[in-house]
Amino acid sequence: MRTLVLAFILGALALTSFASAASRYCSPTGDFCTSTQRISGAVYLRLSTFSFRGPAKVCVTEPRGIRQCRTFRLRQRGSVWQLSLRWASYFSPAGPGRYRVAFFLGPTRLGPVLDFRKHT
């Protein structure tokens, strides 16, 4: 019985983690925002900040668990530094499913892992 209850709790935690991924995040201080956004069918990965500049790394994990990382330079647009990437132009699509996206400044992950879904 204990094993069954433990399995249920672990399963619920896994589902909560899976369901809690978002498509956008802004830091509590407002220093940066990250997002995944679909525009006219294309998925864009974005990072905006006024606090830092230089290179930022974007890592995308495909549905099968294979991770691809690329480094891009933030570009200044007015008083904000931004990164806006069309996902399919820089990362290899691996078919339909849930893709997870993480943004990094050096070794530090910027906010939580975001996600998007690719349909057939």
DSSP 67-114: EEEEEEE-EEETTEEEEEEEHHHHS---SSEEEEEEEEETTEE-SSPE
- What is the average per-residue pLDDT within 68-75? 96
Q: State the pLDDT confidence band at 21, using cuts at 50, 70 and 90.
A: low
| CA–CA separation, 75 and 70 (whole Å) | 16
Q: Does any domain span residue 6?
A: no
**Count of domains forming the chain:** 1
Per the structure, the complete domain to which residue 40 belongs is given by 22-118
Q: Does any domain span residue 67?
A: yes
Q: Which helix (H) or strand (E) holds 15?
A: helix 2-19
Residue 47 sits in a domain of what CATH number? 2.60.40.3080
Enter the pTM of the model. Answer: 0.80
Q: Does the pLDDT of residue 106 top 50, yes or no?
A: yes
Return the SS3 of 40. coil
Q: Does any domain span residue 65?
A: yes
Q: Does any domain span residue 36?
A: yes
Q: Enumerate the β-bridge partners of residue 83.
A: 47
Q: Does the pLDDT of residue 111 top 80, yes or no?
A: yes
Q: Does any domain span residue 106?
A: yes
